[in-house]
Amino acid sequence: MLTAVAFIFVLGVLIFIHELGHFLMAKKVGIRVDKFSLGFPPNILSKKVGETTYCLGLIPLGGYVKMAGENPDEELTGDEGEFMSKTVRQRAAVVIAGPFMNYVLAVFLLIVLFFFRGHPVSDPDRVLVGTVTEEGPAEAAGLLADDRIIAVDGEAVNDMETLREFISIKVSEPIMLTWVHESDTITREIVTEPTEVMQMDGSTDTVGIIGFYEKNWIADRYDMLSAVKQGFTTTHFWVYETGKVVVSLVTGKFSMKMIGGPVFIAKASGEAARKGIYYLFSLMALLSINLAVLNVLPIPILDGGHLVFLAFEKIKGSPLSIKTRAIAQQVGLLLLLLVIVMVTYNDILRLF
């Protein structure tokens, strides 16, 4: 239930903010918006206010803003409220407003987190247990939050990386874990649980885990100026890293198996929610940046593809023909469907 709620919340906010960007800019430049939909049909709610019908769809995997005269096969009347009646600059502003709002959301979330919560840091000199995974080997052995792990198989451990190295090489094998609970020192045998970790080339490596997250301390909060600076710095770093991943996928340095879809996002949302609001909002900021970057890729049907059409129109002095735009949209739709099939396949493999 928590995973489902977290998934709908995270995806709903990201989609709403993205479509709100298109909607507000369209209104600003005088384009008539016929429909604003959060989610896809069948609709749970639908209400017309003024010239726009607002819908809440049952399928929470997307949304759309339908503007007058934006479809290539739609007959234009020359009305000043139609998308194609506006200048190239105005239409480009409407297109870019969606990804830009996702960028703004990421900056805002990070500023709020840095100002009100600071940032999580690990203890460099000891391993403290944070959240213990339900029904995992660690929970079965009696490991609890705030316990301090001090040794594995008699070898002292003082940091999480060393502990991870000791445990990961033992796949479905017993280890002797020693930890301190309040004033008691406990040593128990724990059989590790095998889990697959995907490598950059798409191959998988099986490692052992016992099922817990390290406890992070929340550092002192930033003052407002520092929080703003850190929010922008972190956002721009994540934009850069997301761009690097896209390039690596295109050049083959990263396997397409690394791409995740709705199931992956749902799982990550649930895990983040269980760890706390800081991690949920951090994930939302990261996904918002991903959505912004991916949407500006020059692929027909995405916002970036529309910007390419507008660039050609600016150079050519007139819009591309309806046939050309329709063919490009069909190619873009085919590519998008292939990606959807691929990420769904990857999600199914991860799930089972």
Distances, alpha carbon 292 to alpha carbons 19, 89, 102, 310, 347, in Å: 12, 20, 6, 19, 22
Bridge partners for 175 per DSSP: 190
> Which positions are annotated as active-site residues?
19
The H-assigned helical ranges of 157-218 are 160-168
- Sorted by sequence, the CB contacts under 8 Å of residue 194 that are 6+ apart come out as 171, 172, 206, 207, 208
At residue 189, φ and ψ (nearest 5 deg) are -80, 130
User: E strands, the chain, where?
Assistant: 33-49, 52-67, 120-121, 127-132, 148-152, 155-156, 174-181, 184-191, 193-198, 204-209, 212-214, 217-218
Identify the three-state secondary structure at position 76. Answer: coil
Positive or negative torsion for Cα 283, 289, 291, 293 = negative
